[in-house]
Amino acid sequence: MSQESRVGPNEIITIGGLSYRYYGSAQLVLKNIDLRVSAGEIIVVAGKSGSGKSTLLRAINGLIPHQHSGDYSGSVIVDGLEVSSTKMSELATKVGYIFQNPENQIFMFSVERDIGFGLENLGVPRREIRERVDWAMETLGIKHLALRAPHELSDGQKQRVAIAGVIAMRPKILILDEPTSLLDPFTAKGLVKVVRDLHDSLGITVLIVEHRLDLVAQIADRIIVIDEGKVIYAGPPREVLYNSETSLYGVTEPTIVRLAKLLPFGKEALPISSDELGRQIRDRIKEKGRVSPA
């Protein structure tokens, strides 16, 4: 097993033969998972609730196995560190983790205090905390919220604060576990843009769980579909969306993809946004105009 999971070049996450069973549970929640992630990738993780996707992500930042008891086998290597034998606090500087509920990941009484929370825990000197917190607020465009209390923030703002708190620790990997599921689509779209900008400016590797593929398909390098603890599909968005029955695994297919599958030219054009499909249709109409008068 360990032979297979040798880390390749430019590889930041290497998961080899990972299986996991929560204490007291009869079934394996992860079944012999192999996954390699290159530095700088954006990966969308999809699947039903209970498919094991959250467990997989928790195995990358060390919440599993360190904070949950259960049967763990296989190996997860993150930026050269074997997760099962690395302390949570060290992993926290490699992997930033954003949870679903914005309310439950802000602890302190003001935004800037909260962003500094992780750095304080690591014992970073005060001056550096100040610099990094300012930088993180700047990066996420929330400088004006610095002294607000949590209850004075909207849900979208709370998620940005949470991301800032994680980014301040300068992780190489950012994991977002259904970060938009409690947000309205407009706010969700804004958050996805924030994630993309972070990726573009910091070169950070992103793993994001998101049901609304229409929001994230365009920024993803790969989509991974998980069901019953196994990786069912993994590949570029167009490949996964057009060559598989993702809806069987609880993934809401983007309307545009469902439509394109009904169109005779859709399977060559593979559009994943309404802009793309609109352009393709207009091209067809033009073509038809050239052909039919003859």
Ranges within 54-113 binding other proteins (CB under 8 A): 58, 61, 63, 66-67, 87-89, 92-93, 95-97, 99, 101, 103-110, 112-113
**Distances 74 to 110, 208, 213 between C-alpha atoms, Å:** 41, 23, 30
* Of residues 19 and 187, the one with the C-beta less far from other proteins: 187
User: Please, what is the minimum distance in Å from the beta carbon of residue 69 to other proteins?
Assistant: 14
Site mask for other proteins (CB under 8 A), range 179-198, x = bound: --xxxxxxx-x---------
Is residue 210 close enough to count as binding other proteins by CB under 8 A? no
Residue 27 or 104 having the CB closest to other proteins: 104
Residue 189: exposed, middle, or buried by beta-carbon count in 10 A (0-12, 13-18, 19+)?
Answer: middle
Rounded to a whole number of angstroms, the minimum distance from the CB of residue 62 to other proteins is: 8
- The H or E element spanning position 97 is strand 95-98
Contacting residue, 17, 32, 40, 48, with other proteins by CB under 8 A: 48
For residues 82 and 265, which CB has a smaller minimum distance to other proteins in the complex?
265
Instruction: Give the neighbor-by-neighbor strand order of the sheet with 222-227.
Output: 95-98, 173-177, 205-209, 42-46, 222-227, 230-235
Which whole-number Å values give the CA distances from 251 to 40, 227, 230, in the listed order?
24, 10, 15
Stretches 12-20, 22-30, 48-56, 236-244: which one binds other proteins (CB under 8 A)? 48-56
Classify residue 52 by its DSSP letter: S
CB of 231 to other proteins, least distance (A): 18
For residue 53, the SS3 value is helix
28, 7 in Cβ contact below 8 A?
no
Contacting other proteins within 4-33 (CB under 8 A):
none
Contact 30, 18 (CB under 8 A): yes
| Binding to other proteins, residues 232-251 (CB under 8 A) | 247, 250-251
Among the residue ranges 28-36, 47-55, 71-79, 225-233, the one whose residues contact other proteins (CB under 8 A): 47-55
Q: Is 204 helix (H, G, I), strand (E, B) or coil?
A: coil
By beta-carbon proximity to other proteins, the closer residue of 39 and 263 is 263
Helices (H) and strands (E) in the chain, counts: 12, 10
- Interacting stretch for other proteins, rule CB under 8 A, among 13-21, 31-39, 127-135, 201-209? 127-135
Strand 205-209 with 42-46, pairing: parallel
Q: Which of 201, 262, 293, 294 binds other proteins (CB under 8 A)?
A: 262
Q: Cα–Cα distance between 55 and 272 in angstroms, integer?
A: 28
Given the complex with other proteins, which of 144 and 151 has the nearer CB atom?
A: 151
Cα–Cα distance measured from residue 174 to residue 159, given in angstroms and rounded to the nearest whole number: 13
